[in-house]
Amino acid sequence: MRAEIDERRQWDRLMAMARIGAIADDGVNRACLTELDRQARRLLINWAEEIGASVSVDAAANLWLRREGTDPQAAPVVTGSHMDTQPNGGRFDGIYGVIAGLEALTALHQSGVTLRRPVEVVAWTNEEGGRFAPGCMGSMSWSGFRRIEDFADVADPDGVRFADALAAHLASETDLPRRPLGNKPHAYVEAHIEQGPRLEAEGVDIGVVTGIQGSRWFTVTLTGDTAHAGTTPLALRRDAVQDMVRAIGALNALMRDPKDVLRFTVGRIVVEPNTSNSVANRASFTIDFRHPDKDVLLARGDAIAGVVQAAVRDADVSVQETFRALPVEFAPSVVDAVERAAAEQHLKHMRLPSGAFHDAQFVVPVCPTGMIFVPCRKGVSHNPAEYSQPSQLLAGTQVLTQTLIDLAST
């Protein structure tokens, strides 16, 4: 059974999405639960309705498109990804997996193929965590890993609470039927750009993803006293920035890895009062720490608070863990189905793990799960320069569609 993917339609839809929140140099800034997010979702809904897919939304604002199968009792096969971007993001991270899912539904619709199981496309809420940290709030609350209420008080950089942004958003979608949060799909498969350099370097069309490394996020807050930069002797200061520098230095030593497998990033720093002639009374910074080995992830992550405490001289220290995703292995049934689909289409493929986290990580405990990667130029992502060729995106969607057909036929 086959369904024809339209390379041009898929590309045009991706470019139409990229105009919603476009920034300089082909970048996109489309934060979750904003007006731009709503515009992008409406566009997706219009395309879904054109092919008779039913649309619904759950209490975490995850958006669902559904094509029925022949067996009304059968659990659905689900695909999808996210539509939000980093503040300085590109045109493909996340949205490709949603548009690829829609393209698969469209091709099935046009070919008249009806499968035994329903096929659903989901756009998960807030995967990036760029506006409200952490990421993957939609998939975490759908899978029961966290409750959506747990995130109520998370504030964005303007002080807007997540609960308020979510309520305002859901109020704009009261025309959509509500579906319960959580269900048990037959399988889940997510298409995504690789966001790393391996597929391109090896001249491979399709990454058959075997699992995802673990991630932990922390926020470290150092509190001292503000003081006059011209008059206050160093000995009398409690300078939060100087302690932050000490803390980050000590963390770099903790996270040293000669094999360059471990990933340690301080990506966001907030300083108060943030003027050049005042000593900072407060400095907070984020830690994004990743490793494929659960034991390393747990041991080094658990050491962070002590290392920071020992490194600072004057400030009070608070270390909060905001996100924890243990490494996962994908289900052989889905990994094999992806591999089979790539082989049947004579596409060059290889197995590889994911360094980025994805909503798929939180679907693993719920149902057999896998992912499909396509190459992206120089492995660049979370950057306006992110790029995959239309033909590379086409190949990924062909493999996705064939995998969905395979999984939804039994």
Which candidate, 284, 374, 288, 366, places its Cα nearest to that of 325? 288
Q: Does 128 bind ligand GLV (CB under 6 A)?
A: yes
Closest residue to ligand GLV, judged by C-beta, is: 356
* Nearer residue to ligand GLV within complex by CB, 31 or 115: 31
Structure tokens that stand for 261 in this block: 């497998």
Residue 286 Cβ vs ligand GLV, minimum distance, rounded to whole Å = 12
Our CB check for ligand GLV shows the closer of 161 and 382 to be 382
239 forms part of the interface with ligand GLV (CB under 6 A): no
Q: Mask: binding to ligand GLV, 134-153, rule CB under 6 A, as x and -? A: -x------------------
In sequence order, what are the residues at sequence separation of 6 or more whose Cβ sits closer than 8 angstroms to the Cβ of residue 149? Answer: 163
Q: Does 20 bind ligand GLV (CB under 6 A)?
A: no
Q: Which residue is nearest to Mn ion (CB)?
A: 94
Between CA 188 and CA 407 the distance in angstroms is 9
How far apart are CB 93 and ligand GLV at their closest, in Å?
Answer: 7
Contacts of 57 (CB under 8 A, 6+ apart): 63, 64, 170, 173, 176, 177, 178, 179
Closest CB 43 distance from Mn ion, rounded Å:
19
Distance CA(316)–CA(224), nearest Å, equals 7
Residue from 357, 362, 373, 387 binding ligand GLV (CB under 6 A)? 357
Nearest approach, Cβ of residue 358 and Mn ion (Å): 6
The 3-state secondary structure of 139-203 reads: HHHHHCCCCHHHHCCCECCCCCEHHHHHHHHHHCCCCCCECCCCCCCCEEEEEEECCCCHHHHCC
CB of 226 to ligand GLV, least distance (A): 33
| Angle CA 220–358–297, to nearest 5 | 45
Given the rule CB under 5 A, which residues bind Mn ion?
93-94
Determine, following the binding rule CB under 6 A, whether residue 84 of this chain makes contact with ligand GLV: no
Distances (CA, A) of 229 to 42, 246, 267, 279: 52, 19, 26, 6
Q: Give least dist CB 116 to Mn ion, A.
A: 30
Name the residues that contact ligand GLV, by CB under 6 A.
128, 135, 356-357
